Amino acid sequence: MIKPVMLTEPTFSPHSLNKYASLMTLGNGYMGIRASHEEAYTLQTRGMYLAGLYHRAGKGEINELVNLPDIVGVEITLNGEIFSLTSGAIEHWQRELDFASGELRRTLTWRAPGGARFTIESRRFASAQKLPLFAMEVTITPLDADASIVISTGIDATMTNHGRQHLDETQVRVFGQHLLQGIYTTQDNRSDIAISSYCGVDGDAQRCFTAKERRLLQHNSVQAKAGQRVTLTKMSWIDWTTELHTSYETWGRQSLRHLEACVQQGYDALLAESTANWQEWWQGRRVQVSSSDEADQRALDFALYHLRVMTPEHDERSSIAAKGLTGEGYKGHIFWDTEVFLLPFHLFTEPKTARSLLRYRWHNLPGAREKARRNGWQGALFPWESARSGEEETPEFAAINIRTGLRQKVASAQAEHHLVADIAWAVINYWHATGDMQFMSREGMALLLETAKFWISRAVMVNKRLEIHDVIGPDEYTEHVNNNAFTNYMAGYNVEQALHFARQLGCSDETFIHRAEHFLQHLWRPEVQQDGVLPQDDTFLSKPAIDLSKYKVKAGKQTILLDYSRAEVNEMQILKQADVVMLTYMLPEQFSPQTCLANLRFYEPRTIHDSSLSKAIHGIVAARCGDSAQGYRFWREGAQIDLGDDPHSCDDGIHAAATGAIWLGAIQGFAGVSVRHGELHLDPALPEHWQTLTFPLRWQGIDLQITLNATEIHITSTAQINLWVNGTNVCVQGASVVRYGSFMTSKIGTATTERGDE
């Protein structure tokens, strides 16, 4: 049995309520439920979200992930005192999220202000097996004397997104003594949500229901003996649909039947079934590290846990939000983060999931075509931020400047076009990892063609070459520049690959082939200078540089903007994240190790790392350049974005991309996994803190289990496979050992080696 590390919350603090509510979010890709406590706190933000369920609350607002009616809250009154950890005293405290089972547990002993002591235990999970199921138990034990206990819980539809209401209350019902149901409809009438809850309190509970002011509640009163355990079991079934083909009554009854079947099974059986599902999942994905710092293993387990719960693999009309399903940051929108930071994990572990995420883009090609058309271009210009429909969801204007009252147009939606090539890049990665020609000939080809056509129309002929003007690269501190290296190279790669597949698949669109050839012949790709530096864009190198150290120590907080306006930042060598470093990460076969290193050395001092995407990529490139010490430093700092000490760093949700980057850093950085010319490479560079690194990898349908240490690689493969280790071609099958330096496989294996030509 795989036993990932647990995430623990060391102490109760009103200051970190929302941090842990995000970090410990339960979910299964279908739903995400923040780990708010059962009892209410003024600063605690509750949240339950369903992947793909967005709505716009009013004029001037934007489509956002809907915060659904709450089912976690339980008001507990003990001898007339409302249970809250801000009053009385905590005599024992333990809270942990068990990554092995996805169960969140809390055990505490509370001394009420009146002096009586109670043990309060709770546990809950979102089922990995039955996606709409959320189960919880709360057990209260009076320790010193008999006590009167009142437990109120139900479905609380007073929830909003910070005051923005999305749902109308369509119907609320109670069935029998234990079942509550609320059916809600988004105010645009497009989505219906049915929330059904079973609430059972053991013992001789007196029970009543209230339905008032959008709260449907069951109230239970129990007279408990000292030492008697009083348990609330609550199970909820959450259905939603955009196409209700039956009556609310029939639909509601179906939900109830599912819920009743779960109640029959009971909490423990449901948890066992969900844990088994998790175990199987971990089996094919867990990354194990023996490190001098146990936080490293926790970071990896944390990352993988969230990579699962954020991913709507059940629904190809949804993708992964920037905060997953853990909070309302970025309104739950989908960015390039998915393709670049999250997709690789799925590509190398469960490519079907990667395919589903790419099909999300494919389904949304109409919106992307429309956006290109509206801006005077051809092909597909994917929206910078998207939700369910694939339309551009980026607000037209940024938050108002409260000083001037003016709103600034959001530049990213206007000019941050590299996303188009990033999606094409992900399609190619999928092809390499799977060889899935069925996908390539339909969705893959459509995506490649439409994205390539965009670039072809986007470039302008200047100085007898095709230039790409007025863009923003991943470095958002440098706006509206010409010939951004990242963008031009990625656009070139996009068109080149589209042309390659067009020819391979016998595309009859001669115009495209002709235009693509012309584009590739004339596209200007900024050139590496003598000193090895690739200019970020036409003007970057001519701008003045300043000392950034005071801003770098506060990386992520954008403190530079307190001293300089955005316009001033734009005119200096100040990077949020380094474009060119990112480029060498994404297209490793196009740049020599010397170039990678030169650019890392040049750009990193000019980079504040104010983007949560920055450090991880710098870390990988540093590791690839052989500087695993710097790589490790960056990797650790990246892991700290959510797991670090800042009590508010992830109040509005974890950083999904940074989570993906924890896996990327280990696998692509320290294990040195990369794909070059379609082939799998391992160039390990373990940091000195790590003795071994073990991980599974799926490659073209073959399952590999890889263990690295400072001197050798153990590989177990389900089939014969060719790969490159430190530039040497190796063929492995079954269990093999490859020693660095010797490049001889050990006796137990059947690998053969061949020196690479690179």
Q: Which residues bind its own copies (CB under 8 A)?
A: 14, 40-43, 57-61, 82, 84, 86-87, 157-160, 162-165, 168-174, 185, 187, 189, 209, 211-216, 249, 399-400, 402-403, 405
Whole-angstrom CA distances from 458 to 162, 362, 367, 420 are 40, 21, 17, 11
DSSP alpha helices (H): ranges in 221-309? 248-265, 267-283, 295-309
Residue with tokens 């986007």: 458
Is the Cβ of residue 254 or residue 746 nearer to its own copies in the bound state?
254
Contacts of 736 (CB under 8 A, 6+ apart): 714, 715, 716, 717, 730, 745, 746, 748, 749, 750, 751
Read off the DSSP letter of residue 637: H
For its own copies, the closer CB: 50 or 159:
159
Own/partner pairs, 745-754, CB within 8 angstroms, 24+ separation: 746/712, 749/715, 751/715, 753/725, 753/728, 753/729, 754/728, 754/729, 754/730
Give min distance, CB of 217 to its own copies, in A.
10
Contact 105, 186 (CB under 8 A): no
Residue 524 DSSP label: -
Token pair 């000195």 is found at: 688
249 or 688, CB closer to its own copies? 249
Which DSSP string do the residues of 638-654 spell out, in sequence order? Answer: HHHHHHSS-TTTTTT--
State in angstroms the smallest separation of the CB of 446 from its own copies: 39
Tell me the closest approach of the beta carbon of residue 294 to its own copies, in angstroms: 29
Please, which residues have CB within 8 angstroms of residue 645's CB and are 6 or more apart in sequence? none
Cα pseudo-dihedral 663, 700, 353, 685, rounded to 10: 0
Which one, 18 or 349, has the nearer CB to its own copies? 18
Residues constituting the chain: 758
Do 409 and 398 contact (CB within 8 A), yes or no? yes
Q: End-to-end distance of the chain based on CA atoms, in angstroms?
A: 41
Is the Cβ of residue 64 or residue 137 nearer to its own copies in the bound state?
64
**Cα–Cα distance for residue pair 535/614, rounded to 1 Å:** 18
Between CA 337 and CA 427 the distance in angstroms is 14
Number of CB atoms found within 10 A of residue 379's CB: 23
Strands 167-175, 206-212: pairing kind: unpaired
Q: Looking at beta carbons only, is 405 or 506 nearer to its own copies?
A: 405
Cα dist. 644→16, 635, 639, 640 in Å? 12, 13, 8, 4
- 476 labelled catalytic: yes
**Number of Cβ within a 10 Å radius of residue 413:** 18
CA 632 to chain centre: 21
To its own copies, the closest distance from the beta carbon of 65 in angstroms equals 14
Q: How far is the CB of 161 from its own copies (least distance, A)?
A: 8
Relative orientation angle of helices 445-458 and 485-504, to the nearest 10 degrees: 130
What does the alpha-carbon distance between residue 153 and residue 145 come to, in Å, rounded to a whole number?
A: 25
Shortest distance, position 706 Cβ to its own copies, whole Å: 45
Between 157 and 201, name the residue whose CB sits nearer to its own copies. Answer: 157
**Which C-beta is closer to its own copies: that of 40 or that of 520?**
40
What sign for the dihedral angle of Cα 556, 477, 594, 672? positive
Closest CB to its own copies among residues 185, 434: 185
Residue 640 and residue 643: Cα distance in Å, rounded? 5
**Element housing 31 (H / E):** strand 31-33
Closer to its own copies by Cβ: residue 96 or 646: 646
Does an H or E element contain 48, and which?
A: strand 48-50
Q: Which residues contact 710 (CB under 8 A, 6 or more apart)?
A: 686, 691
Cβ proximity to its own copies, 538 vs 646, nearer residue: 646
- Selecting among 9, 393, 476, 637, the annotated active-site residue is 476
Q: Which residues are catalytic?
A: 476
